[in-house]
Amino acid sequence: MSGIDPIETFRQEAQELLETLEQTLLDLEQRPDDKDLVARAFRALHTLKGSGAMFGFTAVAEFLHDFETAFDRVRKGEAEASKPLVSAALKAQDHVADLVAGGDDPARGQEILANLRAAVSGAAPSGATPCQSAASTPAGAPASETRGWTVRFALPADALVLGTNPLLLLDELRGLAPAKVRAAMAAVPSLEAIEPSASYITWEVTLDGPVALEAIEDVFLFIRDDMDLAIEPLSPVVPETEEKAPAPETAASESAPTPAAKKPEKQTAANERAATSLRVSAERLDELMDRVGELVIAQARLNELAAQSREPALGAVAEEIARLTASLRDTTMSTRMVPIGSLFGRFRRLVHDLSRDLSKPIDFVTVGEETELDKTVIEQLADPLVHLIRNSVDHGVEPAERRCASGKSPTGTIRLSASYRGAEVAIAVTDDGAGLDAVRLRAKAEEQGLIAPSTPMADSDIYPMIFQPGFSTAKEVTSLSGRGVGMDVVKRTIDGLRGSIDIDTQLGRGTTVTLRLPLTLAIIDGLLVRVGDERYTIPLAAVEECVELSATGGVETRGRNFMNIRDALVPFLRLRELFSVPGEPEPFQKVVVVASGSTRVGLVVDQIIGNNQTVIKQLSRLHSGVKTFSGATILGDGTVALILDVMHLVGFGQSLEERRRQDRMGRAA
Amino acid sequence: MSTTIEHHGMNALTFHLEDEIFAVQAESVREILDPVPITRVPNAAAFVGGLINVRGTVVPLADLRVVFGMERRPPDKDTRIIVVEFTLDDEPMVTGILADRVHEVTEIEAASMEQVPSVGMRWPPAFIRSIGKRDDGFVVIPDMERIFRTQSGRDAAAANLTEERHEQ
């Protein structure tokens, strides 16, 4: 791993640990009596402290040491994981994040620690709130309490080279309880064969005292992965007839754990999982994606050549390559997919803090954390979701008194959910708050000159007004919202991701804002069509079916084109007209029926050429004014084809028809 | 591109549009291509109405004829596409420029460059950076940044206006 900045590695690791810590603390707030959570938080603290010291972040290590000391009381059951304590701990966690990022404010650190200590001592089990009194368990879970332990461990052969000092480990064990240490020397080879830097000795330590199992495991926290460790509770009779510990050629004996070593099974499983994943920089993945994109284009060219040459052998190879390319593409894209849970986690803290600041009790529920999205999409989603959630907390959920008055539970609920819908992912923020008031929104929109008074508008057309820049119904600007900026950010980001926004609201019952996003931004399956001499690609995910226009009895009446598909009237657009393609339409026009949201629209083309893998190339900003295309792609013969943006295209077609209707009315007048 | 060409002269690639000679800074030229298939972008401004494939990347193709009020015409055997790279509002921008014929790479000395006269010009003076004198006549040095900034997709309406003005 040369060439990698160790400090940077530490920062990344620290960030992950801090995230774990934050999640654990938030969980702990919900389940204050969960010992596992306390232990997990403590492990995160301890690991962070250790690696902080190792990489020279002394301020971090010192602060964490005090943090840990305070938290140790919770672990020992001397203090309750109460709400104030969790809040204080979260503040401390933020401070650690600051320290890791390079900030240094010792005064603030001391203040936070003082708060933390106060919270710890103030939250003694006796003084706990009624609902938590049942939670207090005596110090140390009974399962992990015995009169002592036998700890047998052998270090990996290279441990000494890597800087592990067994004597320090022994000292640490001695610090836990009165200890008897024996060294098993059986594995030490003869003097000629001895490797001075290798570790041969198996240590056996008898700890005489009630020590928590976790405390012992923590001693070996940093070397646990590679070593042999067996921890057994001391039986009433101290075993004298010890069998020889397994030969300490640890690397080889790893696959054959001693029965006792199986005890921390969960941890071992976690270790194995960690070993099968690795950290890769995002740039490398982007680079890989670019290469695959180029490969896809080259493959399309090969396909075309093979089709022309009619050489069966070449055709077979081309087909094979096509198959491989497609699966390589899918694999590469899947490596860029990240579960959205990583993003959701951040919002728990946000809701926790907002709920406290506004003194509105709120339950935050997340659903579908395992839903995966392209990492670039996830990164860009953070801001819009923050705004939506803030909005829900600030404007959506009413204060507790008003909720009670209207017969709702005083605790509001905000639900953040993600799910797959076809080739899209739907992310919804739902609150059970006051809902949007169409009348009030309308009045505000008229006041701000966004709509002309007395324009007839359906309620569903009024709701999207909240996404207009500068639009706000808040009577006063708070630190949270009211400036009318947030929703505009949401709209622009989602537009940029080629997604769409739906609002579903019921006055007095709550609001759901649903963001619909394409699964990936890099390569899609496309349907290649031809209009005149020009070729266009339609995202296959948006295509519902293809029919022949004449077969559907397409009629053009009163400025609207409709065709009949299985007794449903579907409007259609002629791409030839929309794009002013020169030439006459060909006799047998085809229709590609695409769906955009709940509307279906037929796109009339001359020919449907077929499926192709489409590497999306963004259009330059010289073409940013052209909304009917979401990008361009390079076809097998090297020419560029534009990719239709179905959503905008439908809008464009509608405005075109609108204009035509107005023209006709103007002429009639 | 710096503003120093007026002081130090420039290394220029000259090309023809109709009977005029134009010049772009040679350093900004990436490559010169023979005509390739051009994909029309429906509803885009006429100035950047096309896209081309330059070694696997999609590059917009600009036609300076539109800016300078010349009649557009289909490519012939002399037509070339000059791929230039420049900075537009702090972002790098690669674009193709249609040329009726590419001439040569030459040095235009600062001394031979003149301010754009405000009257008596066929073209909008705002789009011309400077006029260079050479033995065989004048060389027009267009202000690429300004042209692309005012003619980009967002200002399609403005582009059409300029077009109309010069057709009058």
Confidence of residue B15 (pLDDT cuts 50, 70, 90): very high
A617–B39 C-beta distance less than 8 A: no
Would you say residue A54 has pLDDT above 80?
no
**What is the mean pLDDT of the segment spanning B4-32?**
85
Distances (CA, A) of A543 to A71, A533, A553, A644, A651: 57, 22, 20, 11, 17
Smallest Cβ–Cβ distance between B56 and the set A579, A619, A634 belongs to A634
Q: A184 and A228, same structural domain?
A: yes
B60–A620 C-beta distance less than 8 A: yes
- The answer to whether residue A259 is domain-embedded is yes
Residues of B in contact with A624 (CB under 8 A): 152-154
- pLDDT value of position A615: 79
Report pLDDT digits (tens) over A425-460. Answer: 889 999 988 888 888 888 888 887 777 777 777 777
**CA distance linking residue A79 with residue A38, whole number of Å:** 11
B153–A580 C-beta distance less than 8 A: no
What residues contact A79, with CB distance under 8 A and at least 6 apart?
A: A73, A85, A120, A121, A123, A124, A125
Report pLDDT digits (tens) over A107-153. Answer: 777 888 888 777 777 644 433 333 333 333 343 334 444 677 788 88
- pLDDT value of position A535: 93
Would you say residue A2 has pLDDT above 70?
no
- pLDDT value of position B165: 37
B48–A623 C-beta distance less than 8 A: yes
Q: Which residue in chain A has the smallest CA separation from B93?
A: A620
Report pLDDT digits (tens) over B19-49. Answer: 888 999 999 999 999 988 899 999 888 888 8
Would you say residue A27 has pLDDT above 90?
no
**CA distance linking residue A255 with residue A226, whole number of Å:** 11
Q: Which ipTM was obtained for this model?
A: 0.83
Q: Which residue in chain B has the smallest CA separation from A618?
A: B58
Domain boundary among A201, A233, A264: A264
- pLDDT value of position A608: 93
The answer to whether the beta carbons of residues A641 and A633 sit under 8 Å apart is yes
Contacts A–B by Cβ distance under 8 A: 81
Task: Indicate the pTM of the whole model.
Answer: 0.54
- pLDDT value of position A658: 62
Best of A289, A623, A645, A649 to disrupt the B interface by mutation (most B CBs within 10 Å)? A623
Stretch 609-628 of chain A: residues touching chain B, C-beta under 8 Å: 617, 619-626, 628
- pLDDT value of position A131: 34
- The answer to whether residue A271 is domain-embedded is no
B44 touches chain A (CB under 8 A): yes
Residue predicted with more confidence, A264 or A503: A503
**What is the mean pLDDT of the segment spanning A261-273?**
46
Q: A553 and A619, same structural domain?
A: yes
Residues in a beta bridge with A161: none
Q: A618 and A564, same structural domain?
A: yes
B43–A621 C-beta distance less than 8 A: no
Gyration radius of chain B over CA positions: 15
Confidence of residue A183 (pLDDT cuts 50, 70, 90): confident
Confidence of residue A4 (pLDDT cuts 50, 70, 90): low
Q: A367 and A502, same structural domain?
A: yes
- pLDDT value of position A125: 42
Smallest Cβ–Cβ distance between A624 and the set B37, B39, B153 belongs to B153
A579–B58 C-beta distance less than 8 A: no
The answer to whether the beta carbons of residues A390 and A480 sit under 8 Å apart is yes
**CA distance linking residue A537 with residue A629, whole number of Å:** 10
Q: A373 and A435, same structural domain?
A: yes
Instruction: State the CATH number of the domain containing residue A419.
Output: 3.30.565.10
**CA distance linking residue A275 with residue A287, whole number of Å:** 24
- pLDDT value of position A10: 78
Residue predicted with more confidence, A138 or A26: A26
**What is the mean pLDDT of the segment spanning A535-563?**
75
Domain count across chain A: 5
Report pLDDT digits (tens) over A575-614. Answer: 888 888 988 888 888 999 887 666 788 899 999 998 887 8
B45 touches chain A (CB under 8 A): yes
- pLDDT value of position A481: 53
User: Where does B5-167 sit in CATH, by number?
Assistant: 2.40.50.180
Average pLDDT over chain A reads 76
- pLDDT value of position B100: 92
A581 touches chain B (CB under 8 A): yes
Note the helical H segments in A429-541.
438-447, 459-462, 486-496
In angstroms, what separates the C-alpha of B114 from chain A's closest C-alpha?
Answer: 30
B46 touches chain A (CB under 8 A): no
Residues of B in contact with A626 (CB under 8 A): 41-44, 153
Best of B58, B59, B81, B148 to disrupt the A interface by mutation (most A CBs within 10 Å)? B58
- pLDDT value of position A139: 39
**What is the mean pLDDT of the segment spanning A466-482?**
62
A656 touches chain B (CB under 8 A): no
Would you say residue A218 has pLDDT above 80?
no
- pLDDT value of position A254: 42
- pLDDT value of position B70: 85
- pLDDT value of position A663: 67
The answer to whether the beta carbons of residues A654 and B68 sit under 8 Å apart is no
Residue predicted with more confidence, A422 or A366: A366
Best of B36, B38, B41 to disrupt the A interface by mutation (most A CBs within 10 Å)? B41
A638–B52 C-beta distance less than 8 A: no
- pLDDT value of position A592: 92
**What is the mean pLDDT of the segment spanning A219-224?**
74
Report pLDDT digits (tens) over B86-134. Answer: 888 777 889 999 999 998 888 888 777 777 766 666 677 778 888 888 7
In angstroms, what separates the C-alpha of B13 from chain A's closest C-alpha?
Answer: 24
- The answer to whether residue A23 is domain-embedded is yes
In angstroms, what separates the C-alpha of A648 from chain B's closest C-alpha?
Answer: 13
A629 touches chain B (CB under 8 A): yes
- The answer to whether residue A132 is domain-embedded is no
- pLDDT value of position A135: 37
Residue predicted with more confidence, A103 or A410: A410
**What is the mean pLDDT of the segment spanning A57-80?**
78
- The answer to whether residue A505 is domain-embedded is yes
Q: A248 and A178, same structural domain?
A: yes
- pLDDT value of position A556: 54
In angstroms, what separates the C-alpha of B92 from chain A's closest C-alpha?
Answer: 11
CA dihedral B153, B157, B163, B164 (to 10 degrees): 170
- pLDDT value of position A260: 42
3-class SS of residue A599: strand
B42 touches chain A (CB under 8 A): yes
Q: A343 and A484, same structural domain?
A: yes
A639–B37 C-beta distance less than 8 A: yes
- pLDDT value of position B39: 93
Best of A624, A640, A644 to disrupt the B interface by mutation (most B CBs within 10 Å)? A640
Residue A504 class from Cβ within 10 Å (0-12 exposed, 13-18 middle, 19+ buried)?
A: middle
- The answer to whether residue A459 is domain-embedded is yes
Distances (CA, A) of A36 to A24, A33, A80: 10, 9, 14
Would you say residue A261 has pLDDT above 60?
no
- The answer to whether residue A174 is domain-embedded is yes
**What is the mean pLDDT of the segment spanning A492-511?**
83
Would you say residue A635 has pLDDT above 60?
yes
CA dihedral A23, A26, A28, A29 (to 10 degrees): 180
Q: Map out the domains of chain B as residue ranges.
A: 5-167
Show the domain range for A152. Answer: 142-264
Confidence of residue B163 (pLDDT cuts 50, 70, 90): very low
Report pLDDT digits (tens) over A378-426. Answer: 888 888 898 888 888 888 888 888 888 888 888 889 999 988 776 678 8
Q: A195 and A174, same structural domain?
A: yes
Note the helical H segments in A358-500.
375-391, 400-405, 438-447, 459-462, 486-496
**CA distance linking residue A630 with residue A558, whole number of Å:** 31
Q: Which residue in chain A has the smallest CA separation from B45?
A: A623
Residue predicted with more confidence, A498 or A575: A575
B39 touches chain A (CB under 8 A): yes
Strands B113-114 and B101-108: unpaired
- Give me the sign of the Cα torsion angle A401, A405, A411, A412: negative
**What is the mean pLDDT of the segment spanning A342-365?**
86
Report pLDDT digits (tens) over B50-96. Answer: 999 988 789 999 999 888 888 888 888 899 999 999 888 777 889 99
Q: A96 and A209, same structural domain?
A: no
Report pLDDT digits (tens) over A190-216. Answer: 787 787 777 788 888 888 877 777 777
B120 touches chain A (CB under 8 A): no
Residues of A in contact with B97 (CB under 8 A): none
Q: A205 and A148, same structural domain?
A: yes
In angstroms, what separates the C-alpha of B118 from chain A's closest C-alpha?
Answer: 28
Among A472, A459, A403, A461, which residue's Cα sits nearest to residue A432?
A: A403
B95 touches chain A (CB under 8 A): yes
Structure tokens at A446: 């008229």
- The answer to whether residue A28 is domain-embedded is yes
- pLDDT value of position A258: 42
Domain boundary among A518, A536, A569: A518
**CA distance linking residue A338 with residue A378, whole number of Å:** 8
Q: A588 and A467, same structural domain?
A: no
**What is the mean pLDDT of the segment spanning A348-366?**
87
Confidence of residue A359 (pLDDT cuts 50, 70, 90): confident
Q: A238 and A192, same structural domain?
A: yes
Domain boundary among A479, A500, A518: A518
